[in-house]
Amino acid sequence: MNVIITGASRGIGKAITEKFHREGHSIIVCSRSEEKLKELKDAMPSIHTFSCDVSVKKEIEQFGQYVLKTFDAVDVLINNAGVFYPGKILEETEGCLEKMINTNLYSAYHLTRILAPKMIAQQSGYIFNMCSVASLKAYDQGGSYSISKFALLGFSKTLREELKEHQIKVTSILPGATLTDSWAGSNLPENRFSKAEDIAMLVYTITQLSPFSVVEDIVIRPQLGDI
């Protein structure tokens, strides 16, 4: 399979990249950090990397065009890139909503619009949108992050309805607290988090199902519950 992953330089995106690479698939990833991309490339020389800021429409569109020039087919698109700024709506920094909407929602919207037509022509494909338990329930200090993730889940559900007749599967992944750099310095024990590798395993497993079934939504939380 040809696999495209945004925000792949760390956390869940990196774990997903490593899983598909171990299974022998062709991969294109993007990230803002050229240094992190170089580390990925050094560890997995066969992958293709592209540096861009997904929150900037022109740059995510350039990434989409790079994918189309590099791969003849687009089999799996994983809209994983995201950003989190904690705060309450009435107290958060000016522009916080715009930053998170641009990164968490618009990047997926613009990239999907570029790559989905290739899947429609193939009459096959998988699209994963990395939502959050914050897509289901607002929580303290969630602010504009929750707004952006509610919107991403709505995008994902709409996409599912529009693409099912073309044999394209759309899955919303809704993780709870996951042990990534985002929680660095929290001083919480490791057993209060899900593992990024577990989410990667779920994403990969979903791509191995028969053509007759689709996982529409999957929620994965720490065993001990939300933080």
Give the catalytic positions in this structure. 145, 149
Residues 6+ apart with CB under 8 A from 24: none
At 52, the amino acid letter reads: C
Can you give the length of the chain in residues? Answer: 227
Q: Which residue shows structure tokens 């294109």? A: 28
As a whole number of angstroms, the distance between CA 181 and CA 143 comes to 20
**Token pair 């007749």 in the structure block, residue:** 165
Cα gap 11→190, rounded to integer Å: 15
Structural contact between residues 155 and 129, judged by C-beta atoms closer than 8 angstroms:
yes
Residue pair 84/100 in contact (Cβ under 8 Å)? The answer is yes
Tokens of 75: 């089999």
Contacts of 158 (CB under 8 A, 6+ apart): none
> Would you say the C-alpha torsion 185, 187, 190, 194 has a positive or negative sign?
negative
